[in-house]
Structures are given as structure tokens and as C-alpha cells.
A and B are shown apart, each in its own frame.
Chain A
Amino acid sequence: MKVTWNLPGGEAVTAQVDYGQNLMEAAQAQSVPGIIGDCGGSLACATCHVHVATDWRQACGAPGEFEDAMLDMVDDRQDGSRLSCQIEAAPALDGLVLTVPES
């Protein structure tokens, strides 16, 4: 599936991601700046924060309980805030657009 990361400077990274892969790891594989993922996707660092574009929020779903608590710690939390390690590439998300917040 296709994912686009909009970067704070106005540039964007677009890549093909295999189904099943989480989008923090996908971002790392593409060296998307600002997506760090220090805890390897175990909900302990909040360094893979993204804003999901409005049109995609329903398909991505809402954050889970621990993710929600982690998101309280990030700068610039918005309605579409998610930790990208908790979003898995799936057919319903093909074309997904994410924004990397300014860190």
C-alpha cells in the first residue's frame, strides 16, 4: 500500500509499505525525519507521533487506552494524533496521508 508522510518543512516522503508492517517501522525504513521510535513500538516513548489527515481518521481508528495516555505527553496533540507504531498497514489504508509534527 502507499503511504505519504508530510514533513514540517513542506516536503513529503511517499513509499510502498507491506501489509502488516507498522507505520513507525515503515517510516524508519524510509528514514522519515522526526519518526524515531525509541521503544521499538512498545508504547513507552511517544517518539513516533503523527497527525492523521482528516479523511483518514475513521479508517485508522482511535488510539487505545495506553496510546491515549502516551499522547498526553506529546507536543501538539490534535484530533488526528496517533502513535504510528500502533497503525498497521492494511488494504483499507492504501493512500494514507500522515503529517509529522514539528519536534
Chain B
Amino acid sequence: MTIWTPQDDGHADLSSHDTFAQGAPHNTFARLRREDPMHWTEYAGGENFWSVTRYDDITQMNKNTELFSSARGIRMEDQSYEEYLARRTFQETDAPDHSKVRMKLMKAFSKTTMAQYEQEIRDICGEILDQALAKGTFDATKDIARQLPMRMLGRVVGLPEADLPWLVEKGDALIANTDPDFTAHVMDKLETDEFRMMPFNSPAGAELYVYAKELMEEKARKGDTSGVLNMILQPAKDGSTITETEFRNFFCLLVAAGNDTTRYSIAAGIQAMCHQPELLAQMQAGGAVWETAADEIIRWATPALYFRRTATRDVEMHGKQIRAGDKLLYWFISANRDDSYFDDPFRVNLMRNPNRHLSFGQFGPHVCLGMWLARLEVTVLFQELAKRIGHIEAAGPHKFLRSNFVGGIKELPVRVVAA
């Protein structure tokens, strides 16, 4: 039984958010990998761009930051230089600026630091699952996947528990800014440019900024120096400190990235369990499967569908002339289904090893800072889920997010039988 069959005709519009509301257009990606691996893609909303779809190309190009820069924006949408400066985070910079900020944060998100949170994650997972599973039939994205990541991020960053539901809502508005289910300000349908200087071009960015500022003032009053936010406020070795705008944008990045990527990994894993019944039995058998399962679920999900780079000078690839200033989209979702690299890529194989997927943007300096937290959350969630159920199946069709940037199942009706 296949998990899900892509419906696109092989010529889908990759620049259209509507395309991805039907799920990623894998027939189109497969054709491009085969026939046109450096594809000039028309984009009605701005400058056209190159679509890079092969695994080998993306891994090579992702390392070459001198030729393919992050410092002009990392999404398909065009920004003026003024907007870029107002909205950028360290994600949208190159070395050495990028390294300086990243250094400050790495320790807070390292594998060792994250491992200390395992029991807390397990407790939160237990609580969430017990509530959801008692319903028998429910929306697994809403009742399971949506709950865990923000509650965990709240602990890591040091946010008050009571604020978390509000932060989930704002995080959704930021990153799902092209899906009308999550925001009243659908980015590609905006009739105002009022928010163009705000993170993610979203009014939620402004609200989050005020929130972050007040939170830090409150912490300073109490002498509380814990958490990631204080870490980033410390001066660097050369004495430089982060500006207010940089801090605002970083906080928004944390809320957006911490909120939805792991959510959609969890959702994709649960969807796979509904369609490949052997997965539950493999999870229940336990042991070595947990060393590889999270990465396979995260490969399957690929929540960050692409990141963009900008060519810094003219270069020829696959017979195409790339010009300085051209945008290039690295389609991780395509690389993660590239059958010249992965055996049977459309099947979830929890024992896949090695599994050098690109869901975290590996093979480059911008590799996901939160990857150890994500892997741990996914592992623990599925361990606790597998313990509690005897059967899981789809209780209706699932729905995808309307976004060509974040890939996710936003509604996932399931039916479970307790173990």
C-alpha cells in the first residue's frame, strides 16, 4: 500500500503555494531531477528563480557559501535591501557575521544540553498523548503534533507556561503566513505593505517583538539570567552586542522555527504509521530502531521544503547560465526523494542507515541549530505513542498546509485503539 500518491502532472508550478496545498508535487520534482536539474522557474509574484532538485547538487552548492550567499534573503519572495536589513536574522547572513551569532547559541542547543531535557520531554509527551488518545478519534496534528514543540521550546528558552498557547498562535501566523487557516494576513494576497519591515512580513512579528522585550525586562528585574535569550544578549569576544532589531528578529525566528517544523515531522510520522502498519510493530519491538527512526521520520516529513540562496557571480551549471543576483531554491523535499541517492525513497524505513537526508539543511553552515532537540522530541514522542496504542489508522483524508516553504499536514484525522 502506498502512503500517498502525488497527483501533479509533472509540470506543477513550484512558485505557487496552491500547488503544495495538494501535497508536494513529487512527479514534477522527479521529472526535473531527471530532465532539468537546474530549472528556470517562472514566478508571477516576483523575479524568476532557479530550482535545484538533485541531492548531489544541493549538497555541493550548500557548502559553497561564497558563490551562493544567504545574505540576500532565504525565501522565494523578493525583498528590497531596506526590508532585508529590517527583517534579517543570522540565517540570512554569511560568514563571519553568521558564525559570530551562531557561536553564542550552539551550546544552548548542543546534543549534550538537549539530552538533559529527555525526561521533561517524556513527561510532556505522556500528558499530551494521554489526553489525545482518550478521545479515540481525533486530529493528530492539532491534539498531538501541535502541542509538544512549543511547550519544549518554552522550557529551553525560559518562557512562562501560561504564555505558550498565545505563542503557538503567533508562531503559526508567522510561518504559515500563506495559509488562510493560520493568518488573516495571507502574504501573497496582501493589499498592504504595512508589515513589510516586520519579521515574516507579518503583524504577529510586531506583537512578538513587544512580548520579547517585556519578557527580557522582567527577567532583568528578577536577575534571571537563564535561557537562550540571555545567552544571545551577552557581548561577543570583540565586545559587540546584538542590536534591538536583530534581537527581535531572532526571537521571532525561535518562535517560528521552534513551533512548526517538529510539529510537521511528528504529523508526517503519524500519517506514515496509518499507512504502513508494520511501523508500529517495529517501534514496539524497540531497541536499535530508535537510533535511526527519528531521522527517517524527519526525512519523510522534510518540513523546510526549500531554502533560497543568491548567486554572487556568474556561473554555469548543467549547461545553464546563472547570473550574479539570481535566486536559487534548494528543494530539500526533492533531494530527500532522490532515488539516485536513497533506495525506495517513497517508503518509510525506520531502520534506514546511513540516512544522510537534508531536512536540517545539512552540508552547510546553516545546518539546523535545533536538530538535536528535534530528533529527541520525535524519538521520545513516538516511543511514548507506540507504548500506548495497539492500532492506528486514518479516520479521513488529511489536509496539507498552503505553503511552498513549509511542508506539513495541518489536519490529520486518526482513529486509535489503546494497547
Q: How far is the CA of A20 from the CA of B266 in the complex (A)?
A: 41
B interface residue count range (under 10 / 10 to 19 / 20 to 34 / 35 or more) = 20 to 34
Cβ of A18 < 8 Å from any Cβ of B?
no
Q: Are B63 and A45 in contact (CB under 8 A)?
A: no
Q: Are B107 and A44 in contact (CB under 8 A)?
A: no
A-side contacts of B364, CB under 8 Å: 39-40, 42, 44
Cβ of A72 < 8 Å from any Cβ of B?
yes
Q: Mark B46-71, 1 if CB is under 8 A from A, else 0.
A: 00000000000001001101000000
Within 8 A of A (CB), among B323-378: 354, 360, 362-367, 371
Cβ of B131 < 8 Å from any Cβ of A?
no
B-side contacts of A69, CB under 8 Å: 103
A-side contacts of B65, CB under 8 Å: 42
Within 8 A of A (CB), among B98-130: 99, 102-103, 106-107, 110-112
Contact of A40 among B106, B107, B363, B371 (CB under 8 A): B363
Known: A46-B110, A70-B106, A73-B106. A39 touches B367 (CB 8 A): yes
Q: Are A44 and B366 in contact (CB under 8 A)?
A: yes
Q: Are B354 and A39 in contact (CB under 8 A)?
A: no
B-side contacts of A46, CB under 8 Å: 106, 110
Q: Are B110 and A39 in contact (CB under 8 A)?
A: no
B-side contacts of A66, CB under 8 Å: 99, 103
Q: Are B365 and A44 in contact (CB under 8 A)?
A: yes
Q: Are B371 and A43 in contact (CB under 8 A)?
A: no
Tell me which of A31, A40, A41, A75 has the highest count of chain B C-beta atoms within 10 A of its own C-beta: A40
Q: How far is the CA of A41 from the CA of B60 in the complex (A)?
A: 12
Known: A44-B367, A72-B107, A73-B107. A38 touches B360 (CB 8 A): yes
Q: Can you report 7 residue pairs joining A to B where beta carbons are below 8 Å apart?
A: A38-B371, A39-B362, A39-B367, A40-B59, A44-B365, A73-B110, A103-B111
A: residues with CB less than 8 A from B are 31, 38-46, 66, 69-70, 72-75, 103
B: residues with CB less than 8 A from A are 59, 62-63, 65, 95, 99, 102-103, 106-107, 110-112, 354, 360, 362-367, 371
